[in-house]
Amino acid sequence: MRAHMITYGCQMNEYDSHLVQSQLVSLGADMVDSVDEADFVLVNTCAVRGKPVDKVRSLLGELRRQKALRPLVVGMMGCLAQLEEGQQIARKFEVDVLLGPGSLLDIGQALESHERFWGLQFKEELHDHIPPPPVGKLQAHLTIMRGCDHHCTYCIVPTTRGPQVSRHPDQILRELDSLLEAGVKEVTLLGQNVNAYGFDAGAKLAGYPSFADLLRMVGRSGVQRVKFTTSHPMNFTEDVAAAMAETPAVCQFVHLPVQSGSDRVLRRMAREYSREKYLSHIAEIKKHMPDAVLATDIIVGFPGETEEDFQDTLSLYDEVGYDSAYMFIYSPRPGTPSYKHFQDLPRDVKTERLQRLIVKQKEWSARRNARFQGTVQEVLLRGDAYSEGSLEGHTRGNHPIVVPKALGALSAGLYHARVTATTPHMLYGELVDASGEPLPLLPHLGPEAAALVTPLPMM
């Protein structure tokens, strides 16, 4: 069996795809790089917003056309596969295998039920369902929990992924050990709501640490960088900020979604916290980490949002001073309370507000990034950038950075770089040695290589 996977959506979906790929390999499958080479294509879907659903429809339409020309089995997994909407799409486009987020370990049985793959057998059991580490990568995701016990009115996740289930800390640490042995330098802990780790259904699990203590445990493992996503403010505690500040391996980067700055809208979203409570968490973070990098999620144009409500969001952005934000127009999702009970705002109203928020975000990102001018930052370089002779990566604060290649730094790895220029969404720099002196550029590039990373004009 030659298999190919296509993944849409969040980091959790990327992790799930890696988990399923490892099982396909254990079945004897060869993972191939393109649809044209495959006789089994598995699409991992997202249902959080309408756009990724539209992408899945388009892809499945193309795969159905290919099925008419050659033997091809098509599978669909992930959040969309769990919903009636997704099942209707699967029937329309003649999908052969459906696999919900809670059935990832059933891929073998699902394929065995298809006549083309009768007789497939696992070569070996996956130890505690821990996937093998990624090959040749310095970054990895590590799932610490699945599902969510909150019920935000706009969110489909509790329907698709179910209630929160925390993963046992021993499993987490065993997988972490395998990642470190494979050379991983940076690990991102994943969960729908990592702050609630160890408190499933609102009750403390015996033998499970709090999320703050888990951060301390992971930080003592020898890993060089630890990040986490995503957080719900309702479950954030000051101890998390303290653990981040006192654990050197944990990056001082906090992604704390606010969604709206209006108490009225937050109540309609069922977010379970107020503007004041959210700002108290920001104050706790800044108390322990004055230089913390802050990011958030914001939904613009939620049903019933007035201009006054939107102004509250803009003023909150100024009060916090975010480094970056993921900003979305509200997308009504079938199966959510907001879709059933609330009337959507006109598209042009939502679009206009989003544009104003983007302007605000760019102003703050430019201001926040400018403070790094001239400083030396630890950077994790992932490989070649968009221009010849340069490498791209990111800082401990998750800022993307581009540098010219230099002697002793020709590929992925951890290095130090002095920031020489900034834009709202990018840092540019030069690699330096331990004393802060610039590393010599590659001889065949010469000094003019610095021009390869001239900041792009602001859009």
Binding residues for [4Fe-4S] cluster: 10, 46, 79, 148, 152, 155
Beta strand ranges found along 171-323 (DSSP E): 186-190, 225-229, 253-255, 293-300
Half-sphere exposure of 351 (CA within 13 A, CB side): 3
Helix (H, G, I), strand (E, B) or coil at 380: strand
C-alpha 431/C-alpha 405 separation (Å) is 8
Q: How many CB atoms lie within 10 A of CB 386?
A: 10
Those residues with Cβ within 8 angstroms of residue 89's Cβ, 6 or more apart along the chain or in another chain: 53, 56, 57, 60, 76, 80, 95
| CA separation for the pair 1, 4 (Å, rounded) | 10
- Cβ atoms of 56 and 89 closer than 8 Å: yes
Q: Which long-range contacts (CB under 8 A, 24 or more apart) does 200-203 make?
A: 200/149, 200/163, 200/164, 200/165, 200/166, 201/149, 201/163, 201/164, 202/149
Q: Residue positions in the annotated binding site?
A: 10, 46, 79, 148, 152, 155
CA dist., res. 171 & res. 184, Å (int): 17
Q: Are 15 and 85 in contact (CB under 8 A)?
A: no
Q: Which two tokens stand for residue 94?
A: 């003649």
Residue matched to tokens 């990327």: 14
Q: 277: how many CB neighbours lie within 10 A of its CB?
A: 15
Instruction: Tell me the CA distances in angstroms from 178 to 114, 169, 181, 379, 417, one per residue in order.
Output: 34, 14, 5, 23, 29
CA angle 273, 278, 284 (to 5 degrees): 135
